[in-house]
């Protein structure tokens, strides 16, 4: 019985396994849509009890499914602490916690992460390997990215402090933290508009920050892009002239 359940629940090569995963994904999407609709006040007032019943039905369904996964798994603890195991736990816990802390059931939207199982059904496993490669490149550029973020935060603190002195409380810059918040929002080109400089000098500084923001955005992309470029090309030596060239480049040996 364990082997049969394992083939159905964990394997997608059998017809039963494929239908199980398809039904699971439909349930996940249906459950997430239920939680999203329940957050709309007008819909909640009209169909609240129905949506609440559907949500608990799906929660019970996922709870039974998770127990069955643990039951037929060769190593239940290993599965429970894996990525999908943690997602399975997080997908049912908010509903039970909501019995004691109302409102936390909205966190069940994390169930949408379970749709990642579609990769297994559609044979997209090779794309998971590509994503792992991208993560490795990001890790290799981690120190550069941390240094870059530190520089951005330093610039934001300096510029925010300057704006606090230049503009003052009359323009909404009531404190240095508030001014630093404005500097970060402006530097990242988000621009909420809840605070804006009123003086000519403040507007001139804001213009510089905006231009600087466009320059800063491309830096992290360059770090990761250069890492990908270096790792995707290998240097070889031409046996005739001894010149080193990169594989994948269009430059032919002499």
* CATH classification of the domain holding 35: 1.20.120.350
76 with 147, same domain: the answer is no
User: Among the listed ranges 12-16, 92-96, 111-115, 195-199, which one has the minimum average pLDDT value?
Assistant: 111-115
Give the residue, 3 or 128, on which the prediction is more confident. Answer: 3
119 with 70, same domain: the answer is yes
Q: Is 27 part of any domain?
A: yes
Q: At what angle do helices 142-167 and 200-232 cross, to 10 degrees?
A: 180
User: What's the pLDDT score for residue 252?
Assistant: 42
Q: How many CA atoms lie within 13 A of 252 on its CB side?
A: 1
The number of distinct structural domains making up the chain is: 2
To the nearest whole percent, how much of the chain has pLDDT over 90? 18
> How many other CB atoms sit within 10 Å of the CB of residue 91?
26
Pairing verdict, β 235-237 and 244-246: antiparallel
pLDDT band at 241 (very low <50, low <70, confident <90, very high): low
Q: What is the CATH number of the domain that holds 167?
A: 1.10.287.70
User: Among the listed ranges 5-14, 42-51, 126-135, 150-159, which one has the minimum average pLDDT value?
Assistant: 126-135
Task: Write out the residue range of the structural domain in which residue 59 sits.
Answer: 2-123
116 with 144, same domain: the answer is no
Condensed to tens digits (0 to 9), the pLDDT of residues 55-94 reads 889 889 989 999 999 998 888 898 889 888 888 888 888 8
DSSP codes joined into one string, 35-82: HHHHTSHHHHHHHHHHHHHHHHHHHHHHHHHHHHHHHH-SSHHHHHTS
Condensed to tens digits (0 to 9), the pLDDT of residues 110-137 reads 777 776 666 555 555 555 566 666 677 7
In terms of average pLDDT, the best of 95-109, 194-208, 230-244 is 194-208
User: What's the pLDDT score for residue 250?
Assistant: 42
Q: Please enumerate in sequence order all residues whose Cβ is within 8 A of that of 233, keeping only pairs 6 or more positions apart, or say none.
A: 246, 247, 248, 249
């Amino acid at each position: 019985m364990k082997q049969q359940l394992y083939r159905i629940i964990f394997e997608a090569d059998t017809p039963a396994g494929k239908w199980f995963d398809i039904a699971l994904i439909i349930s996940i999407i249906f459950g997430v849509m239920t939680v999203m609709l329940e957050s709309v006040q007008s819909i909640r007032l009209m169909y609240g009890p129905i949506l609440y019943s559907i949500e608990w039905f799906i929660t019970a369904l996922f709870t039974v499914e998770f127990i069955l996964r643990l039951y037929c798994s060769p190593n239940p603890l290993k599965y429970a602490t894996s990525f999908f195991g943690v997602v399975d736990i997080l997908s049912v816990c908010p509903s039970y916690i909501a019995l004691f802390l109302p409102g936390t059931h909205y966190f069940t939207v994390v169930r949408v992460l379970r749709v990642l199982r579609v990769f297994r059904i559609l044979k997209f496993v090779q794309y998971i390997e590509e994503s792992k490669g991208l993560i490795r490149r990001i890790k290799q550029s981690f120190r550069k990215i941390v240094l870059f973020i530190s520089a951005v935060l330093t610039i934001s603190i300096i510029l925010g402090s300057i704006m606090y002195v230049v503009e003052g409380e009359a323009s909404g810059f009531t404190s240095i933290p508030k001014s630093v918040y404005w500097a970060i929002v402006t530097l990242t080109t988000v621009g909420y508009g809840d605070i804006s400089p009123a003086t000519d000098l403040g507007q001139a500084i804001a213009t510089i920050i905006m231009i600087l923001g466009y320059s800063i955005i491309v830096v992290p992309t360059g770090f990761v892009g250069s890492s990908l470029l270096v790792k995707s090309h290998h240097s070889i030596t031409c046996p005739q002239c001894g010149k080193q060239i990169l594989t994948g480049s269009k430059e032919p040996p002499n």
